[in-house]
A and B are shown apart, each in its own frame.
Chain A
Amino acid sequence: MARAVTPRRKLFFTLAAWTVALLIFFPVFWTILTSFKTEASAVATPPQLFTADWTLQNYSDVWARSDYPRFFLNSVIISIGSTLLGLMIAIPAAWSMAFVPGKKTKDLLMWMLSTKMMPAAAVLIPMYLIFQKTGLFDTRIGLVLALMLMNLPVIIWMLYTYFKEIPGEILEAARMDGASLKNEVLYILTPMAVPGIASTMLLNIILAWNEAFWTITLTTVNAAPLSAFIASFSAPQGLFYAKLSAASTMAIAPILIMGWFGQKQLVRGLTFGAVK
């Protein structure tokens, strides 16, 4: 039985909800808008919502001033690479914890999550030295490894909660029929877990894309992704608002669009499967 909804009530809540949502979204909207203004109208008083002199100049300026394609490519390689590598290592681990749990499984999961609680700043110098010594400093492989390990607990945790929802009887039946462990994982488990794996992937690409501590401290030029690109634009005197906005838009647009499309899977992934 649906609750009776009067049109007036619905109109009221619609207006209220849209007002709140637009307020939350406004900073992003304003940044995108400013990126198409001239520098003069970007700082005009009073602020102008719409100006007469729309321009793409800022984008071509930013494009000319820095090697955007390289930063972009690094971001793509690092976020996708670390996510795929993480999945390869995490899937077997999550599988074994979900289907062959031991007494210590819960503790192990908690320990894994607790490794994320180590403040990054605390181990900055050792990391820096290790990366220098091993030749991983300012390389894509180095960052792929670092971000993979950083997000590994999250990946394992998410996959574990998804795998737990798969009924064990199906696996037992497969075993009775003589399926090997490899086939069990490959042909039964993985297809059933695809939605879970997809949302884990999506969330981790976003986390890796937006990571800004290790990507800035462990790179200089070659492997620097978009988070480093934007750091170079945050000049002390933010007088180039339109260019700053254009650079910001270029840094967030790819992930924003991807996130919008994957929003449904993402929300489910975000909850670590713990909220239905």
Chain B
Amino acid sequence: MATQSSRATARLMLAPSVIMLFVWMIVPLAMTIWFSFRIYRLLSPDRTGWAGIRNYTWFFNSPDFWLGISNTLLLVGGVLAITIIFGVLIALLIDQPVWGQGPLRILVISPFFVMPPVAASIWKNLFMHPQNGLLASAAQGLGMEPILFLQSYPLGSIIFITSWEWLPFATLILLTALQSLSSEQLEAAEMDGASALSRFRFITLPHMTRAITVVILIQTIFLLSIFGEIFTTTQGGPGSASTTLPYMIYKQALIAKDIGRAAAGGIIAVILANIVAVFLMRSMGKHLDT
């Protein structure tokens, strides 16, 4: 159907996006690679020169590095697990015959509209604060010691806050998928004596595979670069307990002011993100084909 000229036009229409995205990606990346092999400290600007691979070895030898990687994976994996499991449960609940489904959806989607710094600061101050937080008051009301959420369970608290932000996204996509499931199939299975659990296992869940795939793909992209939530709540602490790899890079750049090391960390993060990306795209690509 496409003629020679329409192909040429199509390429022309595609060009601005491709070129802009390429420049947007390659220029900072090239600069980062360059910096990563240089001695570049803002606190001692007269010391310059090549660093070889010392910036990289510093990262690999730092105990924070491996902690940062495991924290990143725990954060992404934890939020994915929580949002998908509760997303499926809540979607199943809202999909039941209930009064006021419209208002219900509006309530459930609301956290998605709250910008990350606000969400983090609400949870940190109004809820998790050890003296004045609502959760502390609740604990005292029950005669218990208030839990020091951000001190004792920093990463867990951040996973919780982030899950609250992303739960609406997962729930609504899963709900959309559920609503396209034909009820006849479920009824037929019910008449044949299939239990509620096996109806869910063999009919509902397979129907939602594609929606779950979309949730995993999109959330992973956004979760890998989580920043505002950590910055507002724990600043990566106490110690390095809630420092992820991106946050560790941020600390190197803006607190230690060592641009060379931050750049090396950045390149490592880009490589790791690409491994995750390839893995995701491979396994997700199958489900997304139309």
Contacts and interface: CB of A to CB of B under 8 A. Distances in A.
Interface of A: 1-3, 5, 9-10, 13-14, 16-18, 20-22, 24-25, 27-28, 30-31, 34, 43, 45-47, 89-90, 92-93, 95-97, 99-100, 102, 106, 108, 110, 112-127, 129-130, 149, 152-153, 156, 161, 164, 168, 172, 181, 206, 209-210, 212-213, 226-227, 230-231, 233-234, 238-239, 241, 244-245, 248, 251-252, 255-256, 259-260, 263, 266-268, 270-272, 274-276
B270 A17 contact: no
Contacts of A251: 115, 118
Interface residues of B, number: 104
Given A27-B123, A126-B31, A213 B228 contact: yes
A122 B140 CA distance: 43
A127 B31 CA distance: 9
B115 A230 contact: yes
A119 B115 contact: no
Contact of A18 (B17, B32, B100, B123): B100
Interface of B: 1-2, 6-7, 9-11, 13-14, 16-18, 20-21, 24-25, 27-29, 31-32, 35, 90, 93-94, 96-100, 104-119, 121-127, 129, 132, 134, 137, 140-141, 164, 167-169, 172-173, 176-177, 180, 183-184, 187, 210-211, 214, 218, 221, 224-225, 227-228, 232, 245-247, 249-250, 253-254, 259, 262-263, 265-267, 269-270, 273-274, 276-277, 281, 285, 288, 290
Given A14-B99, A117-B276, A110 B126 contact: no
B130 to A, nearest CB: 11
A248 B118 contact: yes
A47 B132 CA distance: 9
B99 A234 contact: no
Contacts, number: 294
